[in-house]
Structure 1
Amino acid sequence: MAATPRTVIEHCAIATVDADGTEYTDGHVVVAGQLIESVGAGPAPAGLERVVRRIDATGHLATPGLVNTHHHFYQWLTRGLATDHRLFDWLVALYPTWARIDEPMVRAAAEGSLAMMARGGVTTAMDHHYIHPRGAGDLSGTIVAAARSLGIRFTLARGSMDLGESAGGLPPDFAVESLEGALAATEETIDRHHDPSFAAMTRIAVAPCSPFSVSTELLRRGAELARRKGVRLHTHGSETVEEERFCVERFGKGPTDYFADTGWLGPDVWMAHCVHMDDRDIAAFARTGTGVAHCPSSNARLGAGIAPVPDLLRAGVPVGLGVDGTASNEAGELHTELRNAVLVSRLGPHREKALTARRALWLGTQGGARVLGRADAIGSLEAGKLADLVLWRMDTLAHASIADPVAALVLGAPAPVTLSLVQGRPVVEDGRLTTVDEEALARTTRSEARRLARLAAGE
């Protein structure tokens, strides 16, 4: 039987982000098919069979691919709007526009979001999509297809809202689904697209949007559905003081206690933001293994506050990084979150001791893999794991004078991506996507954004 084709990467610095934080100043990675075969110091072992590609990566840093744990792809079409709003006002301003999306818009927005992340070193993405206008088409299917076409590993968190304005919720009534309709559509999405295998390229999570846009019944039955189908659960939690006030006034308790009562704490759950948490909330997350998607840029953009990430990590809470929707993070790529996770956390009570550059890289790789339930397969460079890795060029003017390549990557300017592999297959080469025409995609996203704006204006 013929040997598995191999790609050999040599002469680069390597941050494996394994449990021991192993690093090499001059090392190698051997990829055999879809798996990492070996990682170590110096050149690759001699005598390897069927080496189809050998890369001299001098001047580069190799890391695991970045893992994005929270995003809203459709918002790519509404970037730059409501730029001076806090969360609730921002949502009220944009819900009427978002409620007019359709399948072509969502496909373009998903491709734009995925392309931007891939160019910046993301190999695993997720999308929390909770807007499903009547007659808009197969939005879940088109998002999954977009990720497949770009070759990015993907989790679709099939979101939903059933608590409209007339029932005391935040979204307008025409932007929500019925309870039964949301549950049925979510189960159908799981049945059609979820792959539980080790090397899965597509997984599905159950994801009612937030306490202020879904009913208690949808939360409870959504949790039951997820556990019956063996998939993970995702929602927004403790993002703003207004959300906490809403929960106290409506349910007589804060968000964490409300989630506990509805079955939404556990090792199969992760929540976006978690900015306003006290010691008791953090202890509940740690005790139950509930994960957090930390979105520092969006939290700052919307004035939500500084998440207690050092305290969450110290307590043992699983934490990863998220871009969040590009209507509250116009950059739309995860490198910004590595840097801002360090900088924003240092504005909090722990100051310069809050997060290190290496801890930020861990959040963006191994931490994210753990939050998504994929730590056995991705998130570190180790033999036997899937070959999701990135080669960052560190010898240009932007980084060459920084001796520590990890500090250069996290704290410096965005580093060029020379090569990004997903399951051993190139998705970026020399800073360019291999699977999509970037210029054509830019034209399509611009056209769809303008069409959405016209519809929102009633034209």
Structure 2
Amino acid sequence: MSTPPILVDQIIEARWIIPVEPDDTTLEHHSLVIQGERILDLLPTEQARQRYTARETTVLGEHILMPGLVNLHCHAAMTLLRGLADDLPLMRWLQEAIWPTEARHVGHAFVHDGSLLAAAEMLKGGITTCNDMYFYPDATAQAFARVGLRSVLGITVIDFPSGYGQNAEEYIAKGLAAREAWGQHPLIRFAIAPHAPYTVSDQNFERLGQLAEDLDLPIHVHLHETAQEVADSLRDHGQRPIARLDALGLLSPRLIAVHAVHLDETDRSTLAARGCSVAHCPTSNMKLASGAAPVADLVARGIPVGLGSDGAASNNRLDLLREMQQASLLAKLTTGDAAALPAHQILRMATLEGARALGMDADIGSLVPGKLADLCAVKLDAPETQPCYHPISHLVHVLGREAVSDVWVSGKRCLTQGKLLQITNTELLSVAQLWQNKIHL
């Protein structure tokens, strides 16, 4: 007597599945089986049809199914400042354009609405997890939760006052209150987020490092972004920023160094020895002329490197597919080695390595039974995507975010055939127009 098929919630049949683990693997004509929020099985489609029956079956006949992308560094609310101040180096961009505009406009409504636009943009581009750093994390949590984006939100701290807080004590108190309010939400986590070495004192860095250890949270910080940052640190502290933070006890596997562009041999060795991770933001670094991070060398040293978009004010897209291509090409250019960071390694950076940096790789970042079903489907049915000999290469060097057709977070569909399910374009366009009118008054 034959065994009856097992009833499951979902089966997704795909032309190709790229699980990321094992590395550099492409499975043809396979199916992903989902029960509840998690992946139950991954097996050839013919076997899946015999073994399972599903309440919902999705057939992706000319698609790649892969893990949802992990955006390891973003300032989501700054989507409302997209293109406001182009063609300036970092400190002029901050001091002359961004900080004054933020002082006039940033509040709960600004952050909520900007984060809503950002979440929609990211989901439409296949991003299912975002590591964010900004003020009013409660407002960001509301926006992200509405559309179903998984996130790690920064308890952001700087030493100078803003409309959000007057001092580090107030920033910390408000961030911890948001964490308490959202602590039980399945999609929302938090990180300690000191802004940068040039905006946070030794005393506050030490306090935040202890808080991160006490609460077992990641530390998300801009670090060695520009040559000026390093020079100013040597002048003011007698140390490079990485050495300073190491002396203060912040360097550990929980630290995510954002940008990490200007690194000497000692900096690189220290990051590796302490188990730190790096968030590589190639487009932002190029646009602000900050430089090119030595990513191929960092990866060779075993340092986890994920990819980040940075904010839309300095990129100007929240598009990890583009970051994948930029990271690949920039590594080849700067090393003079065409074999540097091959496509499968870039995809791993955009998925599993980002998850690893956040301490979430047991749950997301690859398509392995037992993990959460955070998924992205990318279609290859257009003539400009053909022929396709190597699907992973296509992800990095051919496809753009417009090819993303379907997205699931924890097994729940957020995007179908390119259309968001929790919010309309009409509402998003209305929000964008409202703030454009306010900011340009």
CA distance in 2 between counterparts of 1:45 and 1:325 reads 41
Q: In 2, distance between residues paired with 1:106 and 1:443?
A: 15
- Match in the other structure for 2:335: 349
**Change in CA separation of 1:61 and 1:309 when aligned onto 2, cut-off 3 Å:** same
Would the aligned equivalents of 2:156 and 2:172 in 1 still touch at CA under 8 Å?
Answer: no
Shift of 1:174: 7.0
Find the aligned partners of 2:418 and 2:438 in 1 and give their Cα distance: 30
1:179 corresponds to which residue? 168
> Counterpart in 2 of 1:145?
142
Please say if 1:228 is aligned against 2:214.
yes
SS in 2 for 1:28: strand
Q: With structure 2 as the length reference, what TM-score do the two structures score?
A: 0.94
TM-superposition CA deviations, 1:383-441 (whole Å, max 9, x none) = 11100011110121231223211111111141522211100000110011111112211
Distance 1:264 1:414 in 2: 37
In structure 1, what is the Cα distance between the partners aligned to 2:337 and 2:399?
22
- The structural deviation recorded for 1:55 is 1.9
- Conserved in 2, the CA contact under 8 Å of 1:35 and 1:385? yes
Query: Taking structure 1 as the reference length, what is the TM-score of the superposition?
Result: 0.90
The secondary structure found in structure 1 opposite 2:31 is: strand
Deviations 1:245-279 (A, max 9, x none): 11111111001101102222101111210001122
- After superposition, give the CA deviation of every residue in 1:114-147 in whole Å (9 maximum; x if it has no partner): 1101000001112101x4xxxxxxx221110111
Structure 2 distance, partners of 1:336, 1:439, is 26
The equivalent residue for 2:200 is 214
Q: Deviations over 1:355-405 (max 9, x none)?
A: 111111110001111011100000000111100011110121231223211
Q: Are 1:419 and 2:424 counterparts?
A: no
Match of 1:26, SS state, is strand
The correspondence for 1:437, drawn from 424, 430, 433, is 424
Q: Which amino acid aligns with 2:26?
A: E
3-state DSSP of counterpart to 2:440 = helix
**What residue is the counterpart of 1:169 in the other structure?**
none
Give the alignment partner of residue 155 of structure 1, picking from 152, 162, 177. Answer: 152
Structure 2, unmatched stretches of 5+, are: 1-5
SS of 1:177's equivalent in the other structure is coil
Q: Which residue of 2 aligns with 1:364?
A: 350
Task: Please tell me the residue identity of whatever aligns with 2:409.
Answer: V
- Structure 1 equivalent of residue 39 of structure 2: 36
- 8 A contact 1:147–1:154 mirrored in 2: yes
Which of 116, 139, 154 lines up with 1:111 in the alignment? 116
Letter of the aligned partner of 1:96 in structure 2? P
In structure 2, distance between residues paired with 1:250 and 1:358: 42
Deviations 1:159-193 (A, max 9, x none): 121147xxxxxxxx778631322232233233222
For 2:103, the equivalent position in structure 1 comes to 99
Say which of 21, 35, 42 aligns to 2:24. Answer: 21
| Cα pair 2:332 2:341 within 8 Å, conserved | yes
Stretch moving more, 14-23 or 75-84:
14-23
Matched ranges for 1:257-276 at <5 A: 257-276=243-262
Change (3 A) 1:252 1:397: same
* Pairing of 1:256-295 with structure 2 (within 5 A): 256-295=242-281
Measured in 2, the distance between the counterparts of 1:223 and 1:237 equals 15
Contact 2:111 2:140 in 1 (8 A): yes
For residues 10 and 175 of structure 1, the distance between their equivalents in structure 2, rounded to whole angstroms, comes to 47
The DSSP-based 3-state class of the residue aligned with 1:236 is strand
Q: State the partner residue of 2:3.
A: none
CA distance in 2, matches of 1:303, 1:146: 32
| RMSD of equivalent CA atoms | 1.8
The farther-off stretch of 46-55 and 94-103 is 46-55
Measured in 2, the distance between the counterparts of 1:174 and 1:426 equals 37
Partner amino acid, structure 1, of 2:412? R
Q: Which amino acid aligns with 1:423?
A: S
- Residues 53-97 of structure 1 show CA distances to partners (whole Å, capped at 9, x for unaligned) of 112211111110000010001211111122111111111121010
Cα offset, 1:351, TM superposition: 2.8
Q: How does 1:67-106 map to 2 (within 5 A)?
A: 67-93=70-96, 94-100=98-104, 101-106=106-111
Equivalences for 1:235-250 in 2 at 5 Å?
235-250=221-236
Any conservation in 2 of the 1:4–1:32 contact (CA below 8 Å)?
no
Residue aligned with 1:16, SS: coil
Match of residue 6, structure 1, among 6, 9, 13 = 9
Query: In the TM superposition, what whole-angstrom CA distance separates every residue of 1:180-224 from its partner, at most 9, and x where no partner exists?
Result: 2223223323322245xxx94110001010011122211110111
Structure 1: which 5+ residue stretches go unaligned?
Answer: 132-138, 165-172, 455-459
Counterpart for residue 62 of structure 1: 65
SS at match of 1:410: helix
C-alpha distance in 2, partners of 1:174/1:436? 29
Q: Give the 3 Å change call, closer, same or farther, for CA 48–402 of structure 1 in structure 2.
A: closer
Q: Secondary structure at the match of 2:61?
A: coil
1:188 maps to amino acid: A
2:300 aligns with one of 314, 330, 336: 314
Structure 1 residue identity aligned to 2:155: R
Q: In structure 2, the residue corresponding to 1:351 is in which secondary structure?
A: coil
Q: CA deviation at 1:8?
A: 1.1
Query: How many positions carry a matched residue from both structures?
Result: 433
The DSSP-based 3-state class of the residue aligned with 1:213 is coil
